[in-house]
A and B are shown apart, each in its own frame.
Chain A
């Protein structure tokens, strides 16, 4: 297991008037090579939780293990951890600062201590992977469109070749085209490199389409976890905490409730179509 959370509690500003428990006794594992989705409301603690994975926030109680090592041990190399667990923040294009796209992507690899040549090679690879074109590499990142900036920022993390890559709402603010492009790119990268992906998302539809497993956060705690199929089978419980399920899942439940003999549990349009056709054919 690359990352294990063991009873992690995080209290923001303890012993002050602003004290707030952001994470409350959180335990779970991130499995090697999986595509894990983390969902929950704004303020459910999901962003705080993922920031513990590479030591940007430090738990007030409990432990986080990376490949069996406690990351809060005195002799643990935090910098090494951050190069192995990459993190793409919300609106990552806001961190671009270099004069050229290529130089910006090189920033991470150079901080890792790589030679300029090696860093450039990595930057090339990462930029191509995110779908940027070679003729754009020497442009200023500030000349690019919103979607392109976002890719460059993601490439900046990919170029560090992390074994775990965390993305905090990487599609926020993008239009549907930009959103699909980024998610398809992630899926492709995941399949090609086999690295572990942790995706923080608001969209149940996206989670259903892309994730192997999901964790639902609520009020700083793990509400439930499992494959999207398992989790969305409990759509009613999710709706109790104000979260939805893919609309096709809800539709199938409605059909069943209105007396139709249909198999529920579909989470994508394809599955729903098959289930409905099956039901109709049976009746014919």
Chain B
């Protein structure tokens, strides 16, 4: 198996119908999207609301079925009805709203929800739940009610819930959009840890550019199309194009770009303040 997710010329259309069932409008949410994710990679998809990034995620999780194109998840054809459950087991999904994806009233029981649905035997569930909670650092909260947790903690529970299904890949669909800065950091860190230590492939969907600096590869989407691809450095060096898309470029990258424009000799795509400090030191 070369790629864990492989989409080619993927099209998805939302068909709006009026009350009599006549087609009123067709909205193309995905317009011939190509995507390749290798096992163990941390891949980010960046784009605005309505750019199609969430629709893409739902296609990969078999919650939606593509209208055209091909899509393979962990070697299974996601377009085929009988593969739906296999696809969902291989590519688990964490959603945006922390409150609306926790099902049980106790943390531990929520994490067990996925494996229970899959018919995993009892002892195995207990083991998986313990490992999953450990991996996101929420073991101490296993008996808590989700209502007593912060947004970041709730999202970590949701991640553990997916982990317990032992997927090859986790799709985080704007899982930090509703969190405060502390919660955002917690969740991002948890995902990076899973990626590095457990080798889980991560598909990270966001509209915050500063969250994707550590990704292996970045796709930028706009109006259903992939408009930019590359490593974070390659993508971030195209400041003008990013600003045209109105994705807010992180301050440091923006500053380095402005300095360069004013004639300072700096390399392209500076991502962190440490890098910029190093580069400026060379010049002084």
Contact = CB atoms under 8 A, between A and B. Distances in A.
Contacts of B49: 145-147, 174-175, 178
Nearest to A146: B49
A269 B182 contact: no
B248 interface: yes
Interface residues of B, number: 34
Contacts of A205: 251
Given A42-B150, A248-B252, A273-B258, A260 B280 contact: yes
Chain A binding surface SS class: helix
B254 A269 contact: yes
A255 interface: yes
B90 to A, nearest CB: 29
Interface string B244-279: 001110111011001100101000000001101100
Contacts of A272: 251, 255
A175 B48 contact: yes
Nearest to B183: A42
A283 B254 CA distance: 23
Contacts of B262: 273, 277
B23 interface: no
A42 B277 contact: no
A26 interface: no
A258 B259 contact: no
Given A175-B49, A273-B258, A280-B284, A202 B246 contact: no
Interface in B160-198: 177-178, 180-183
22 contacts: A41-B180, A41-B182, A42-B182, A146-B49, A174-B49, A176-B246, A202-B180, A202-B181, A203-B181, A242-B182, A246-B251, A247-B251, A254-B274, A254-B277, A255-B280, A258-B277, A269-B258, A273-B258, A273-B262, A276-B264, A277-B259, A279-B284
Closest 6 CB pairs of A and B: A176-B248, A175-B207, A177-B246, A251-B273, A175-B48, A247-B251
Interface of B: 48-50, 150-151, 177-178, 180-183, 207-209, 246-248, 250-252, 254-255, 258-259, 262, 264, 273-274, 276-277, 280-281, 283-284
